[in-house]
Structure 1
Amino acid sequence: MPVVAQIKQSNQSRHPLLLEQKYYRMTEGVYRFFRGTSFVFYQDFIQHFSTTDLTRVWGCGDLHLQNFGTYKADNRLVYFDLNDFDDAFLLPATWELSRMLVSILLAAEELALEPTEAKALLLAFLKSYTATLSAGKPTDIDRRSAEGLLKEFLENLEKRRRRDLIKERTLKSDEGRRLNVDHEKVMPILPQQYAKVKTMLENWHSQHPTPFYERICDIGIRVTGTASLGLERYVVLVESAKEKLYLLDLKEARQSTLAAFIQLPQPYWVSEAHRIVGIQSRVNNVLPTLLNPLVCESQSFVLKELQPEQDKFDFHYWDGELESLTSLVATLGTITASGHLRSAGRQGSSIADELIDFAHDTQWQRDLLAYCQDYPTKVHQDYFQFCEAFEEGLFDE
């Protein structure tokens, strides 16, 4: 199937205006295009990577550099971990790692690194990943344990304040603060959508032992990201019993992209949102504040607090020193392996001993490196075809 048809197929039944924005953002560069086309990536992977991999890990399903990020937990510490589980699934480890390695190579292109430097980053990630698996002991990363570029990133985030985020995202009105509907981060919401979201949150609020907030002040359509643009997503302004304002993120959950490719038996989940929250609860050591699944008739949503400390790590923050970038990539390898170990032995996933044996096998590492080093050529070809089709108006339908 031509790549244009693949992209259209994987983006069916999305909000037309937001889907238009997604397609536009995907023209901005190869890496952003890659972020928005996991369906294409996995269709290629299942056809062309033939190395046997008997491992079963709980993975985020879309592992790339910008699906790592920060969040504040209930203990009020800021953590750095995997933070996007929309496509989370039980899958072979090589499926999870392949997308990460290709993302490193595409990021290295944007940073104008030499091929030898890019390969060094791949090896740093794999070395750290396999070393952590071999040790059989997961770890977590917060400001106290972070080093180098990541430590600086976390320290800067901790300087952000909730009141500044509220001022930035809201406006004063006669009825109190309301969301700033700027059409860039927040779009206006239709009355029927407002009523649906309000009812859903009120139902959850009435059943939750610690509901976090007292009343809903305003609701808008949230515009953010690349891969998820076009799904239903809302930002909600709420007030606590102590009259403090908070922002909540409510994101529609849909079937994992991997469901079309992975044949492994999966557990029963009450909803797609329960799948996302359930797997994240296994992989992360400490969870973001307020992470909950909500169900509304045939749809489900993931609820969490929208925090000033929450941010995806952007590789463009790089300070120009290869050593600091290598250290960061190695940390990502440790985090990935830690998630696999932390969730080992749960509902069909490999036990720790099996993952340790996997870490000692060098054949899959050689095969995966060879495949991933070749694959960026395909991404460039697909990106060129997509941009041509976009310019010709083939995505305007």
Structure 2
Amino acid sequence: MPKHISAIVVALILILGFASPVQAATPRSSWVENEIYQYNHPFASQLPQELATKMQKMTASPFAFYRGTDHIFYRDMQTLPSSDFVNSSTSAIWLEGDMHLENLGGMRDSNENNIFDTTDFDEGYLGPYVWDLRRMAVSIMLAAKENGLSSSDAQDVVRNFLDAYLNKMSDFKGTNDELSYRLESSNTNGVVRDLIQKTSDKSRSSLLTKYTQLNKNNNRIFQTTSELQPVSSSTYSDIAGVMSSYIASIPTSKRYNNNYYTLKDIRLKLGSGTGNLGKYRYYLLIEGPSSATTDDRILEMKQEGSSAVAMAFRPPEVIAVPGLLPTSVYGNQEGARVTIAAKAMLSNTDPLVGYTTVNSIPFMLHEKSPYQVDFDYKLLTTKSKFIDAMGYAGKVVAKNHAISDKDYDAAIVSVSADKEVTDIVSGSKALFKDEIVNFAVDYTTQVEYDYKSFVNAYKQGVTL
């Protein structure tokens, strides 16, 4: 066991009998049922039907279950052994936190570049860099199996993902290249390039047509559908009342005049995503750059809670694990935490990213982009397509980690992540890849056990 692991953690590992970074997967039905209930039940009182939708979505496949249960992953990170390739400098860097294939996508940044990047930062937090790699590696294994690839081929895809990550981190070491690095149509191929090109085909008018309409007074308002529901007058008033707080959360250098943020309509958005179902999500229609109805903007306003990553640093309380993100960094406002995480890990960030609080509930706001295209892993129908796409995913995760280190805010992360990761893995790439792949193979089996436990409980009508 490497010297950099604390004596307390070493003692715990010896007591529990962990001798390597892999622990044999095992069925644990009661534990899984309880974990899902404890995490989700607080939302049953506010949006019970959304919570029911979440549970139904998670029955679709082990991948869908994994996507909706990042809290289980981080409960396991709390007790599973650390990595031989983590030291004090690499144990507290910015993590995306819920790194999986469907949190990647095509987008347009604020400088009008169409790119492939990370699309969600709700779980953004500090932790060991390998946690993002582990979580993505398991998602690759699950998606590859669902798409008909063999375990051996899936492991090759994971190794390629890791190679791309390590090579890009090495490229970044000693340079500032990460600050301008982006994946666009000129330096991508295959499914990823197709995705970026779809981004360029999108338009604001199409998004407005999809969600809004002009009323008899020629004012733009939201449509009312099964997924877009009117809010009560009190909720409308509460949200309108915190718009000034949201505007104030945007740096003055990126802030538009107040007319830009004039609130025109609100809807409760239902059915979006998986992991966040049960939390409030609103769409806000605002004026935009002019009084014309053609350039209105749609804001997505998402309820935020504690990052699931933080669960890995909670009880048992005898373990003193460093690396927690001090609440002072984000003023104990979880919407602010997500805002900071997005700014740390993205270049040319959406200028409408901000946060506010409604009735003691923290929210993060950003533009519902007309140009975002979600990544569809079901298009990866062959090993070569999978390898190609996940090579780009490795580069994205490397960029996330490298750009969010001391380059972003040295008061939060004081080291150069690209240097520290490159140095600690140097000369041991094969061992590093073996460690992550072995973890992914074993943990994929654990997810499959947990999924089976969940589906059985769901079918039996257990309250989850």
Return the TM-score normalized by structure 2: 0.80
Distance 1:59 1:196, change over 3 A: same
Instruction: Say whether 1:210 aligns with 2:256.
Output: yes
Deviation at 1:51, TM superposition (A): 2.9
Distance 1:145 1:371, change over 3 A: same
C-alpha distance after superposition, 1:282-305 (max 9, x if no partner) = 211221341112234533211111
Could you tell me which amino acid in structure 1 is paired with residue 189 of structure 2?
A: E
**Structure with the greater alpha carbon radius of gyration:** 2
Distance 1:207 1:300, change over 3 A: closer
Deviation at 1:149, TM superposition (A): 1.8
Instruction: Say whether 1:3 aligns with 2:32.
Output: yes
**Residue of structure 2 in register with 1:123 after alignment:** 159
Report which stretch shifted further, 25-34 or 357-366.
357-366
Match of 1:327 among 388, 400, 410: 388
In 2, are the aligned partners of 1:80 and 1:141 still within 8 Å (CA)?
yes
SS at match of 2:242: helix
Instruction: Say whether 1:274 aligns with 2:336.
Output: yes
In 2, are the aligned partners of 1:134 and 1:359 still within 8 Å (CA)?
no
**Residue of structure 2 in register with 1:248 after alignment:** 299
* Aligned pairs for 1:104-253 within 5 A: 104-135=140-171, 136=173, 137-138=177-178, 139-175=181-217, 176-183=219-226, 185-205=227-247, 209-211=255-257, 213=260, 215-223=262-270, 224-240=272-288, 241-243=290-292, 244-253=295-304
Distance 1:225 1:93, change over 3 A: same
Match of 1:316 among 378, 401, 414: 378
Could you tell me which amino acid in structure 2 is paired with residue 22 of structure 1?
A: K
Aligned residues: 394
Could you tell me which amino acid in structure 2 is paired with residue 117 of structure 1?
A: D
Deviation at 1:307, TM superposition (A): 1.7
Could you tell me which amino acid in structure 2 is paired with residue 336 of structure 1?
A: V
C-alpha distance after superposition, 1:338-392 (max 9, x if no partner) = 2211122332454243122133233343222111111121111111111121122
Deviation at 1:79, TM superposition (A): 2.3
Distance 1:168 1:265, change over 3 A: closer
Deviation at 1:395, TM superposition (A): 2.7
Q: Distance in 2 between matches of 1:140 and 1:359?
A: 24
**Residue of structure 2 in register with 1:71 after alignment:** 107
Distance 1:348 1:75, change over 3 A: closer
SS at match of 1:236: strand
C-alpha distance after superposition, 1:52-90 (max 9, x if no partner) = 422132111111111112322222222221121111111
Could you tell me which amino acid in structure 1 is paired with residue 222 of structure 2?
A: L
Deviation at 1:29, TM superposition (A): 1.4
Distance 1:25 1:349, change over 3 A: farther
Deviation at 1:44, TM superposition (A): 2.2
Deviation at 1:173, TM superposition (A): 2.8
Deviation at 1:216, TM superposition (A): 1.9
Match of 1:344 among 402, 405, 409: 405
Deviation at 1:172, TM superposition (A): 3.7
Instruction: Say whether 1:29 aligns with 2:61.
Output: yes
**Residue of structure 2 in register with 1:17 after alignment:** 49
In 1, are the aligned partners of 2:83 and 2:130 still within 8 Å (CA)?
no
SS at match of 2:122: coil
Could you tell me which amino acid in structure 2 is paired with residue 342 of structure 1?
A: I
Distance 1:85 1:207, change over 3 A: closer
**Residue of structure 2 in register with 1:80 after alignment:** 116
Instruction: Say whether 1:357 aligns with 2:423.
Output: yes
Return the TM-score normalized by structure 1: 0.93
**Residue of structure 2 in register with 1:95 after alignment:** 131
Q: Distance in 1 between matches of 2:269 and 2:168?
A: 37
Distance 1:182 1:47, change over 3 A: same
Deviation at 1:205, TM superposition (A): 4.4
Distance 1:58 1:155, change over 3 A: same
Q: Distance in 2 between matches of 1:207 and 1:265?
A: 23
Q: Distance in 1 between matches of 2:348 and 2:261?
A: 25
Report which stretch shifted further, 280-289 or 219-228.
280-289
* Higher strand proportion (structure 1 or 2): 1
C-alpha distance after superposition, 1:11-51 (max 9, x if no partner) = 13212121111111111111111100111122223323343
Q: Distance in 2 between matches of 1:30 and 1:194?
A: 38
Could you tell me which amino acid in structure 1 is paired with residue 325 of structure 2?
A: Q
Could you tell me which amino acid in structure 1 is paired with residue 140 of structure 2?
A: I
